[in-house]
């Protein structure tokens, strides 16, 4: 199995896990649980930061917890639910080797990239840039996989 194909499979599986996480985040937003994330994370990393105030991992985790949206979450609730469901559907189709899945995945992800960039310019947010970067990587790997598949029928 070529290395690019292995990376593609791992990335697709990670995308599926990200889709599940996005649905969980959407549910947490809907039920108001995310407002507690920064406090929980501070409690979790407090011991590490007391030993090493410059701990790279602890400070990054704390920083990430502080960018999770905790107010005005209507947009993110719907966005994460839709993004998660579409990604899970795409992952299932890609792993099932459905003929149209690669082109559909590229198209859907490209639409998400455009929308995410539009929203980023309108409202900002690091999370939108992270999701856009992940989507661009998956688009690239899907294009490579699509090209590989044409030359090597299953």
| Tokens linked to 67 | 């960018």
Answer yes or no: is pLDDT of 137 > 80.
yes
Of 2 and 131, the one with more pLDDT: 131
Report pLDDT for 148. 74
Ranges of each domain in the chain: 3-30+73-148, 33-70
- For residue 152, what pLDDT band results from cuts at 50, 70 and 90? very low
Answer yes or no: is pLDDT of 88 > 60.
yes
- For residue 20, what pLDDT band results from cuts at 50, 70 and 90? very high
| Tokens linked to 143 | 């294009």
In 10 A of CB 66, how many CB atoms? 12
pTM of the model: 0.61
Report pLDDT for 23. 93
Least confident of 43-52, 57-66, 79-88, 114-123: 57-66
3-state secondary structure 15-79: HHHHHHHHHHHHHHHHHCHHHHHHHHHHHHHHHHHHHCCCCHHHHHHHHHHHHCCCCCCHHHHHH
For residues 138 and 124, give the distance between their C-alpha atoms in angstroms, rounded to a whole number.
Answer: 22
For residues 137 and 109, give the distance between their C-alpha atoms in angstroms, rounded to a whole number.
Answer: 10
Of 88 and 5, the one with more pLDDT: 88
């Amino acid at each position: 199995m070529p290395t690019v194909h292995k990376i593609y499979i791992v990335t697709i599986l990670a995308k599926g896990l990200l889709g599940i996480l996005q649905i969980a985040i959407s549910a947490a937003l809907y039920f108001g649980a995310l407002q507690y994330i920064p406090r929980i994370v501070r409690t979790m990393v407090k011991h590490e930061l007391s030993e090493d105030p410059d701990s790279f991992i602890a400070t990054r985790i704390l920083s990430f917890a502080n960018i999770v949206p905790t107010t005005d979450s209507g947009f993110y609730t719907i966005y994460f639910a839709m993004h998660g469901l579409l990604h899970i559907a795409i992952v299932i189709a890609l792993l099932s080797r459905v003929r149209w899945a690669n082109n559909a995945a590229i198209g859907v992800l490209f639409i998400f990239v455009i929308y995410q960039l539009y929203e980023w310019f309108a409202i900002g947010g690091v999370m939108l840039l992270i999701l856009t970067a992940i989507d661009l990587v998956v688009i690239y790997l899907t294009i490579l996989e699509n090209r590989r598949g044409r030359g090597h029928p299953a």
